[in-house]
């Protein structure tokens, strides 16, 4: 089973005047976790791009529950919730390591496009990547 958690600490530059991680960084954490997850299942994003597969974000959402402060250690649980070969939908939960409290929840949705940003079905053009993603849906 693939470890679907991504762990890191909040950097000083990610905080705002109130001393907490700026809300926009949660979306970045989701992306870091998704890229890490994809690497673990054999769909490395850099490798995909070298093969002419790009995965733009077409939707993103975050709900903030508890602030993350400078140097707080946290982890992101990532789950590939939906995948049909043309789009994939990830869900995330960010938790503070100290007490396991939820800092945020959210999701992102992505599609597959070629070098010309024309959408395509991964199953038809790249069945190996399609199968790796399809097997990772939970």
Q: Tell whether the model's pLDDT for residue 8 goes beyond 70.
A: yes
Cα–Cα distances in angstroms (integers) from residue 131 to residues 12, 65, 84, 87, in the given order: 40, 35, 11, 14
Q: How far apart are alpha carbons 20 and 71 in whole angstroms?
A: 10
Residues 6+ apart with CB under 8 A from 104: 26, 62, 63, 64, 65, 66, 92, 93, 94
pLDDT for the residue numbered 2 = 56
Q: How many residues does the chain have?
A: 138
DSSP 119: B
Give pLDDT tens digits for 35-75. Answer: 999 999 999 999 999 999 999 999 999 999 999 999 999 99
Mean pLDDT over residues 78-88, rounded?
Answer: 98
- 8 Å CB contact between 138 and 80: yes
Confidence of residue 5 (pLDDT cuts 50, 70, 90): confident
Q: Tell whether the model's pLDDT for residue 138 goes beyond 60.
A: yes
Catalytic residues: 16
Burial (CB count <10 Å: 0-12, 13-18, 19+), residue 89: middle
Residues 6+ apart with CB under 8 A from 23: 62, 64
- 8 Å CB contact between 92 and 80: no
Q: Tell whether the model's pLDDT for residue 1 goes beyond 90.
A: no
Mean pLDDT over residues 99-117, rounded?
Answer: 97
Q: How far apart are alpha carbons 133 and 126 in whole angstroms?
A: 11
Q: Tell whether the model's pLDDT for residue 93 goes beyond 70.
A: yes
pLDDT for the residue numbered 103 = 98
Mean pLDDT over residues 98-126, rounded?
Answer: 97
Given CATH 3.40.50.1980, say whether it is the number of domain 5-134.
no
pTM higher than 0.85: yes
Average model confidence (pLDDT) for the chain?
96
Q: How far apart are alpha carbons 64 and 62 in whole angstroms?
A: 6
């Amino acid at each position: 089973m693939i470890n679907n958690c991504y762990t890191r600490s909040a950097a000083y530059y990610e905080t705002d005047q109130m001393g907490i991680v700026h809300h926009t960084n949660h979306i970045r954490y989701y992306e870091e976790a998704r890229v890490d997850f994809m690497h673990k299942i054999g769909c490395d994003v850099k490798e995909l791009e070298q093969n002419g597969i790009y995965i733009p974000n077409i939707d993103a959402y975050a709900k903030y529950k508890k602030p993350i402060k400078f140097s707080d250690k946290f982890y992101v649980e990532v789950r590939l919730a939906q995948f049909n070969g043309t789009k994939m939908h990830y869900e995330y939960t960010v938790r503070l390591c100290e007490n396991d409290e939820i800092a945020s929840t959210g999701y992102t949705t992505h599609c597959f496009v070629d070098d010309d940003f024309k959408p395509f079905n991964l199953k038809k053009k790249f069945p190996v990547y399609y199968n790796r993603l399809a097997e990772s849906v939970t």
